[in-house]
Structure 1
Amino acid sequence: MPFRGIVLFMPDVAQITVAPARTAELTALIRATGTETRTTVSPLTGADVATVPVSTDQDVLDAFAAARVAQLDWARTPVRRRKKALLRLHDLVLKHQAELLDLIQLESGKARSHAFDEVLHSALTGRYYGRRLSRILGPHRRSGVYPVITSVRQHHQPKGVVGLITPWNYPLSMALVDGLAAVAAGNAVVHKPDSQSPLTALAIIELMHRAGFPKDLWQVVSGAGSVIGSVIIDHADYICFTGSTATGKRIAAQCSQRLIGCSLELGGKNPMIVLPGADVEKAVEGTVTAAFSSAGQLCVSIERVYVHDSIYDRYRDGLAGRLAQMAYGANADWEVEMGTLVSPSQLATTQKHVADALDHGATLVSGGHARPDIAPWFHEPTVLEDVPESALCFAEETFGPVVSLYRYRSIGEAVQAANDTPYGLNASVWGPSRRARQVATRIKAGTVNVNEGFAATFGSIGAPMGGMKESGTGRRQGAEGLLRFTETQSIGVQRVIPVGGPSFLSKRTFGALLTVGLIGLRRFTRRA
């Protein structure tokens, strides 16, 4: 029978609000001169949150103009000063986490512990680049064409002004993990946060100002992506986007017309494989986190689980039992394990996928219902089995708290099923570590987590993260996440004689001497 779970209502923390004066302070950071506004709504209660000004096309152009001026000065700022600002931001994020947590929850509806994941991720990003910026940016010495007399150094020059378009589901993390790498590399940013969650992004930008980043370096514009998004792409030197695959393809096409680069983190239909020999209880607990964090509204969230036939029944029954004890709600209680969906459209998609699967013969293991008694767009964590290929949720991304279970008999069968998708963002493998690592290398996904859902890679800032196939291009985090915002420049210095040889030797003689030298060098290095 579908469960009803444990609902946590805490009267002293049930209402998360932001004062009108505070919203006015934050929205004043948006570059907007027109009279048009829009009102944001909290998924926790359905109540209005803030009146947000909408930017015009001219506002976007003005943002780029101001950002370009600021970027020229910032690019000349010594790396050591940038590092200090990054580390100060790390401290400020942790110090002001209470307000950040409130804003994240107010705008996204996720549980407080999941909101904290964003705070932690943002602080770790500041610390990582603050400590490693010099090492990543260089300059780095490279081998010259001739030893000693040729020296080459590789430099990384900033792109200029980066257009940053971020989603509503992780309004803090997705703004900072990308934007902070861009400014650390010496760029300026023109940022369009999602219209659902502008306050969270604005709060972190305010903290950046306090940390020592120039105020004009990070410009914020507001409005529908379909309206001002094209203006941003037409004037940026590089685009960074997180969102749907369909939108990502349109952005890539527009970028190609200007021959500018882009990094795109797009959709996923992420698989989990539970191997024979896996700890079933740990796999069940891992599934709760992997599939239902942020109510499944996470690009790397698990939506397909392949379980070996020998342990399938124990796993399925264990997962249903665990979900029956799962605590959920729409408040600031840290013990809540799942919050709400963000909007009526997300709820409609989730309901449509569940109803369609059942109509096509799937079996409901757990959940399956909307719960407006908890929050206007809350949907129970839902588990399905026997989902046929004809069902929408078999191959389409739900982006909600729905996971489908499948039996398998051989590892090859499970790997083939996991890879049978146009997406390749994230995957998870549960079982004995050595065997699970071997299986992980066979999965076509940008990140694969062993005995973890997504956090092992997502939280490791030094590890690049991104998608294969239609899940995107480019990588965030790590050195790659910063270097994508730079142009590589090689500077070579030649001493004593030119590369083409000294003037007192004929070209033929120099060629012969060079040939003998290369053969000797090859033999020497082979012996070494």
Structure 2
Amino acid sequence: MTRTTESTGHGESRPRTVGGFVGAPSAARAAQLVRRAAGGADSAPVDITAPFTGLLTATLPQATDADARKVFDEARAAQAAWAARPATERQRVLARLHTLVLQRQEEILNLVQLESGKARIDAYDEVASAALVAGYYGRHSARILASRRVAGVLPVLTSARELRHPKGVVGIISPWNYPLALTAMDVFPALAAGNAVVQKPDNQTALSALWLNELTEEAGLPSGVWRIVLGHGGQIGDAFVEEPDYLCFTGSTATGKKLAKQIAGRLTGYSLELGGKNPMLVLPDAPVAKAAAGAVAACFSSAGQLCVSVERIYVHENIREEFTRAFVARTEALRLGAELGYGADLGSLTTPAQLDSVSAHVADARAKGARVLTGGRSRPDVGPLFYEPTVLTDVTRDMAVFAEETFGPVVSIYGYRDIEDAISRANDTGYGLNASVWAASGSVGSTVAARLKTGTVNVNEGFAATFGTVGLPMGGMKESGLGRRNGAEGLLKYTESQSVAVQRGLRLRPPRVIPPRLWTRGMSIGIRLLNRLPRR
């Protein structure tokens, strides 16, 4: 890890670059990005520090409620002209953005690492995700949004179409853990559909969202169509509930429920991606070495601060000892490091609150009889917010880690003898976001996957197969959320459907010269005949 400082002229020193790292963006560059944020003149600014070092990354303006509402008004004024552009033209902006993200990845890799504390390989997952999402909607959005012809009630005489119109202004509240990927997944389809967007990223990782906002305008998005507002939920949360025509929120289940209650009074659409306690099932015929390697990535990517990461592993008793031994060995081989480069396997937790939460879960489990097979302690020698990847066993229901989302590098291993019992235990949770199944046979794994009550299931993978397949919808069941992102569904949710039918010739009510009874008999015969037509 290399840091650099310069003299302030008063016997002190300060970092030349964001977070104090050589090769990181300069403080001037960070300030340039911050100026893209709207509002904030009447609120005290907030200093944000790098998880790796505790040094300053940026000082962010904080908007007031009035600031946020003004931005929504300005976005609404800009939206009409953007929506009037052909869908193919909007699509081309995202196609150009796909190329730009990949070309400019070095700067954003540094920013994501500095703001979130991720290992660089995990930061690259965000770059790849943003490029994949831009590429998908840059190729397919116009086709998905195109008017759809439907068979009319009377063949030839009735023509019917479904049209798609943008909602208007979409409000997006984004979390700190995947600042680039989740911004792309939520903002890009909203823009492709012809909406304006007002986004509130988390302060901790706002620079990443601002960087993508800048790049999107370079790709051709008109200024003002996507606006970013910084501030705390207590200051600007009401504006995000009351002003948008649709709200997309990613965060905790508790906050999502509160937002849903507030939005219900407006009858405004919304989607929520919330918490998870994601299971992994290792079937008795699964290749142990591959399953153990897959579990490491599934559990510890981004230090476990990933909504779809695995926190519970169910392993058949016939292979449990072998799997556990292999998994622990691979976990202990992970390299922790605070560096801007690919030398570390595991990065830092992002905030002191996350470190406190993870530490509390492990301490509670240990105090109540759980065994720590590896890890179980913070690592201030590496950086202020590092925590070792931790594997627990003998976890029981009275422990917080059993059912509550830890959102850190902690996983519990459980044995089972009967697959029905394993499926039941995997489903025994209020959450239903993601799951993983490992088996020798993909078809057997898929059969088990279909019985798990989660929005996504990965067979012989942890989460990346569904996460990276942008054409698939992604979202939660039960208390893990409502609605989906990605795929056609992730685009169409930002639209209003309108049905238009044109009737020619024969009316759909009897003329005066035909008795109603005779008319209805004829119509019934026609309906029966229509039902006999070949199905398409």
Fold conserved (TM > 0.5)?
yes
Counterpart of 1:235 in structure 2 is 243
Whether contact under 8 Å (2:65, 2:238) holds in the other structure is no
Counterpart of 1:376 in structure 2 is 384
Q: What is the deviation of 1:230?
A: 1.5
Counterpart of 2:46 in structure 1 is 38
Whether contact under 8 Å (2:105, 2:127) holds in the other structure is yes
- The AA in structure 2 aligned to 1:22 is R
Whether contact under 8 Å (2:161, 2:499) holds in the other structure is yes
Whether contact under 8 Å (2:337, 2:343) holds in the other structure is no
Q: What is the deviation of 1:525?
A: 5.1
- The AA in structure 1 aligned to 2:231 is G
- The AA in structure 1 aligned to 2:515 is S
Cα distance change of structure 1 residues 495 and 110 upon mapping to structure 2, 3 Å threshold: same
1:291 & 1:105 partners in 2: Cα distance? Answer: 19
Counterpart of 1:272 in structure 2 is 280
Point out which structure has higher relative CO (alpha carbons under 8 A, 6+ apart). Answer: 1
Counterpart of 1:163 in structure 2 is 171
Counterpart of 2:34 in structure 1 is 27
Q: Does 1:96 align with 2:104?
A: yes
Q: Does 1:366 align with 2:409?
A: no
Counterpart of 2:465 in structure 1 is 456
Q: Which runs of 4+ in 1 moved over 2 A?
A: 9-18, 501-509, 516-526
1:346 & 1:525 partners in 2: Cα distance? Answer: 58
Q: What is the deviation of 1:509?
A: 2.3
Residues 140-179 of structure 1: pairs in structure 2 closer than 5 A? 140-179=148-187
Counterpart of 1:4 in structure 2 is none
1:446 & 1:458 partners in 2: Cα distance? Answer: 11
2:531 & 2:348 partners in 1: Cα distance? Answer: 64
Per-residue deviation, residues 314-342 of structure 1 (Å, max 9, x unmatched): 01111111122212211122142110000
Q: What is the deviation of 1:512?
A: 1.8
Residues 427-438 of structure 1: pairs in structure 2 closer than 5 A? 427-432=435-440, 433-438=442-447
Whether contact under 8 Å (2:159, 2:502) holds in the other structure is yes
1:178 & 1:476 partners in 2: Cα distance? Answer: 7
- The AA in structure 1 aligned to 2:199 is H
Whether contact under 8 Å (1:16, 1:331) holds in the other structure is no
Whether contact under 8 Å (1:18, 1:49) holds in the other structure is no
Q: What is the deviation of 1:405?
A: 0.2
SS in 2 for 1:299: coil
Q: Does 1:348 align with 2:331?
A: no
- The AA in structure 2 aligned to 1:214 is P
1:253 & 1:453 partners in 2: Cα distance? Answer: 33
Residues 205-354 of structure 1: pairs in structure 2 closer than 5 A? 205-354=213-362
Q: What is the deviation of 1:507?
A: 2.6
* Sequence identity percentage: 50
Q: What is the deviation of 1:434?
A: 1.5
SS in 1 for 2:247: strand
- The AA in structure 1 aligned to 2:516 is K
Q: What is the deviation of 1:14?
A: 6.2
SS in 2 for 1:156: strand
Counterpart of 1:70 in structure 2 is 78
Whether contact under 8 Å (1:16, 1:106) holds in the other structure is no
- The AA in structure 1 aligned to 2:146 is G
Whether contact under 8 Å (1:43, 1:106) holds in the other structure is yes
2:25 to 2, 15, 18: 18
Listed as ranges, the gaps of 5+ residues in structure 2 are 5-19
Listed as ranges, the gaps of 5+ residues in structure 1 are 1-8
2:521 to 503, 512, 525: 512
Counterpart of 2:89 in structure 1 is 81
Whether contact under 8 Å (2:98, 2:131) holds in the other structure is yes
2:402 & 2:132 partners in 1: Cα distance? Answer: 35
Counterpart of 2:16 in structure 1 is none
- The AA in structure 1 aligned to 2:381 is D
Deviates more, 1:495-504 or 1:267-276: 495-504
Residues 404-415 of structure 1: pairs in structure 2 closer than 5 A? 404-415=412-423
Cα distance change of structure 1 residues 363 and 456 upon mapping to structure 2, 3 Å threshold: same
Q: What is the deviation of 1:523?
A: 4.8
- The AA in structure 2 aligned to 1:366 is T
2:251 & 2:530 partners in 1: Cα distance? Answer: 52
1:78 & 1:518 partners in 2: Cα distance? Answer: 38
Residues 389-404 of structure 1: pairs in structure 2 closer than 5 A? 389-404=397-412
SS in 1 for 2:204: coil
Q: What is the deviation of 1:497?
A: 1.9
Q: TM-score, normalised by structure 1?
A: 0.96
Cα distance change of structure 1 residues 10 and 320 upon mapping to structure 2, 3 Å threshold: farther
2:166 & 2:331 partners in 1: Cα distance? Answer: 48
Whether contact under 8 Å (1:429, 1:439) holds in the other structure is yes
1:16 & 1:52 partners in 2: Cα distance? Answer: 22
- The AA in structure 1 aligned to 2:34 is T
1:523 & 1:273 partners in 2: Cα distance? Answer: 46
Whether contact under 8 Å (1:15, 1:331) holds in the other structure is no
Q: What is the root-mean-square deviation of aligned Cα atoms in Å?
A: 1.6
- The AA in structure 2 aligned to 1:466 is G
SS in 2 for 1:216: coil
Cα distance change of structure 1 residues 102 and 503 upon mapping to structure 2, 3 Å threshold: farther
